[in-house]
Amino acid sequence: MTERTNDDWIADLSSTSERQADALQDLQMRLQRGIYYYLSRERSDLSGLSSHELTQMAQDLAQDATLRVLDNLDSFRGDSLFTTWAARIAVRLAISDLRRTRYKNFSLDEITAEGDLLPLNANPVAGAPPVSPERAAERSDALDKINAALRSALTERQYQALIAHALRGVPLEVLADQMNTNRNALYKLLHDARRKLRATLEQQGLSPEYVMNLFRE
């Protein structure tokens, strides 16, 4: 792979000759290598895929990203290495693709039909030994308060967004699409919901330290 400066990348990718073809191939290989590295090391949800399948996935994503880079060459400002800027484009494209594939069957309608959010028993700590009756009662009381706060302190929209994002793991961009909003606005909505919940629970004597200690071990 040819070593290139930022200016070299721009010049080569902007040319119309064999230089451009070589640069495109180098860029795609570079992006594919990085995407594969991430998919194979950082994504436990993809651990069931074979090396060949991951390679194919990385190749497809890198191909799309390379074309996206080419289409956006004019917007490169030189604030970072060209290859970092290109990798950022690849990340945006790949992560969006991965998220939409993973949550393609998610519907916001499921949230309102859901029952109680948290187990309303006194010992929700998985695999933990039994606790004293006093501790169990404290936990049960705290869970009641958390469940009640989720129902009463939030608007329906905040509630849906919080449950979908926090408990179901639905990414912001997928959720934003379903809620007809954008990611920034959704982030703000969630932030407000979190602060409101925290204030509500603290008013009832549930401090972060108390809750963490209560359910530890």
Beta carbons of 192 and 121 less than 8 angstroms apart: no
**What is the distance between the alpha carbons of residues 192 and 166, in angstroms, rounded to a whole number?**
14
Q: Is 191 in the site for other proteins (CB under 8 A)?
A: yes
Q: Is 42 in the site for other proteins (CB under 8 A)?
A: yes
Q: Is 166 in the site for other proteins (CB under 8 A)?
A: yes
Residues 132-151 that bind other proteins (CB under 8 A): 143, 146
Give the pair of three-digit tokens for residue 14: 């902007």
Residue with token string 């939030």: 154
Give least dist CB 118 to other proteins, A: 6
Beta carbons of 69 and 94 less than 8 angstroms apart: no
Beta carbons of 189 and 161 less than 8 angstroms apart: yes
15 vs 45 by CB, closer to other proteins = 45
CA distances from 65 to 58, 98, 206 (A): 10, 14, 47
Q: Is 22 in the site for other proteins (CB under 8 A)?
A: no
Near other proteins by CB under 8 A, which window of 15-23, 25-33, 45-53, 101-109? 25-33
Q: Is 159 in the site for other proteins (CB under 8 A)?
A: no
Residue of 5, 72, 107, 184 interacting with other proteins (CB under 8 A): 184
CA distances from 127 to 74, 131, 133, 134, 140 (A): 56, 12, 17, 19, 17
By CB under 8 A, how many residues form the interface with other proteins?
55
Residue of 52, 74, 75, 79 interacting with other proteins (CB under 8 A): 79
Three-class SS state of 193 = helix
Near other proteins by CB under 8 A, which window of 7-15, 20-28, 66-74, 77-85? 77-85
What amino acid occupies position 140? S
Beta carbons of 198 and 162 less than 8 angstroms apart: no
Q: Is 215 in the site for other proteins (CB under 8 A)?
A: yes
71 vs 191 by CB, closer to other proteins = 191
**What is the distance between the alpha carbons of residues 182 and 185, in angstroms, rounded to a whole number?**
5
Positions in the binding site for other proteins (CB under 8 A): 1, 30-31, 33-38, 41-42, 79-81, 83-85, 87-88, 90-92, 94-95, 117-119, 124-126, 143, 146, 162, 165-167, 169, 171-173, 183-184, 187-188, 191, 194-195, 197-198, 201, 208, 211-212, 215-216
